[in-house]
């Protein structure tokens, strides 16, 4: 049995992960929230699972590195500087960061990349996500992950083609753009759709999360997979064998 430490343990995801840990018969070694001691938690775990806040990431990675504990980071709203922190930590411990730990979205990203690579630039790409009223970041980590997949399929950089937050006299749509739109309300666990739009037809690939258990089970699976791995950056397709 593995000893699991949860960062953000009282949050919506933290509680769902604790349920998954119990369901799978693993051991919950402890959990922390804001103001908690990540170093002490890390020292008594085989793996850390972090679903907290971007502001907590640096301290959480430092704690993981100090005790040589692998870490799965599900927190979204991360910026470029956070990716540098993740890369640095991955030189010392096994690190998996993803905007979505579900099997369905991991497969969806694969399909989106394939579709973007097969369809020409005359197919516009638009990504729409809907989440519960409590979500604090936009676009969602998943929408960005799907945008990255589409951009990789097209052989372009997402930073160069991304169109976010259209408002007012935007002008016509840029050729080759990948657009994002976010809806917030109610208790939606997470809906994502990627539309490929041409003049004559539309292809829409989508995923709807019915609840948080899918994220929690995927996170636990990823965390268990990290135990005993060499330092490095890992990704969900490796965990799921996709």
Binding residues for ligand LZUJQKHR (CB under 6 A): 76, 99-100, 131, 135, 140-142, 190
Q: Which is nearer to ligand LZUJQKHR, 9 or 140 (CB)?
A: 140
Find which of ligand NDP, ligand LZUJQKHR, none residue 193 binds, CB within 5 to 8 Å per kind: none
Q: How far is CA 228 from the centre of its chain?
A: 22
Does residue 121 contact residue 174 with C-beta atoms inside 8 Å?
no
Does 192 qualify as catalytic in the annotation?
no
CB contact set of 33 (below 8 Å; sequence gap of 6+): 8, 9, 10, 11, 14, 52
Q: Which of 44, 82, 92, 131 is catalytic?
A: 131
Q: Which is nearer to ligand LZUJQKHR, 113 or 212 (CB)?
A: 212
Count of other CB atoms within 10 angstroms of residue 104: 15
Residues tagged in the binding site annotation for NADP(+) = 34
Task: Give the gyration radius of the chain's Cα atoms.
Answer: 18
Find which of ligand NDP, ligand LZUJQKHR, none residue 131 binds, CB within 5 to 8 Å per kind: ligand LZUJQKHR
Does residue 165 contact residue 177 with C-beta atoms inside 8 Å?
no
Quick one: which of 22, 55, 83, 228 contacts ligand NDP (CB under 6 A)?
Answer: 55
Does residue 119 contact residue 203 with C-beta atoms inside 8 Å?
yes
Q: Which is nearer to ligand LZUJQKHR, 113 or 135 (CB)?
A: 135
Q: 170-185 burial, b if ≥16 CB within 10 A, otherwise e?
A: eeeeeeeebbbbbeee
Does 131 qualify as catalytic in the annotation?
yes
Catalytic residues, by residue number, are: 131, 135
Residue ranges binding ligand NDP (CB under 6 A)? 7-8, 10-14, 32-34, 36, 51-53, 55-56, 74-77, 98-101, 141, 215
């Amino acid at each position: 049995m593995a000893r699991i430490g949860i960062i953000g343990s009282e949050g919506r995801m933290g509680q769902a992960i604790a349920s998954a840990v119990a369901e799978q018969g693993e051991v919950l070694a402890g959990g922390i929230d804001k103001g908690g001691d990540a170093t002490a938690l890390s020292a008594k775990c085989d793996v850390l699972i972090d679903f907290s806040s971007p502001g907590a990431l640096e301290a959480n990675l430092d704690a993981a590195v100090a005790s040589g504990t692998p870490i799965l980071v599900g927190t979204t709203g991360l910026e470029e500087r956070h990716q540098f922190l993740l890369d640095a930590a991955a030189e010392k411990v096994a690190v998996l960061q993803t905007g979505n730990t579900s099997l369905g979205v991991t497969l969806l990203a694969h399909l989106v990349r394939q579709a973007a690579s097969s369809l020409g630039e005359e197919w516009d790409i638009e990504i729409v996500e809907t989440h519960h009223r409590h979500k604090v970041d936009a676009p969602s980590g998943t929408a960005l992950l799907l945008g990255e997949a589409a951009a990789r399929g097209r052989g372009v950089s997402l930073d160069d083609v991304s169109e976010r937050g259209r408002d007012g006299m935007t002008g016509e749509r840029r050729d080759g753009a990948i657009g994002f739109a976010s809806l917030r309300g109610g208790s939606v666990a997470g809906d994502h759709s990627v539309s490929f739009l041409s003049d004559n037809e539309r292809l829409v690939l989508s995923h709807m999360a019915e609840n948080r258990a899918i994220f929690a089970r995927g996170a636990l699976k990823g965390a268990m997979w990290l135990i005993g791995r060499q330092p490095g950056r890992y990704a969900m397709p490796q965990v799921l064998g996709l």
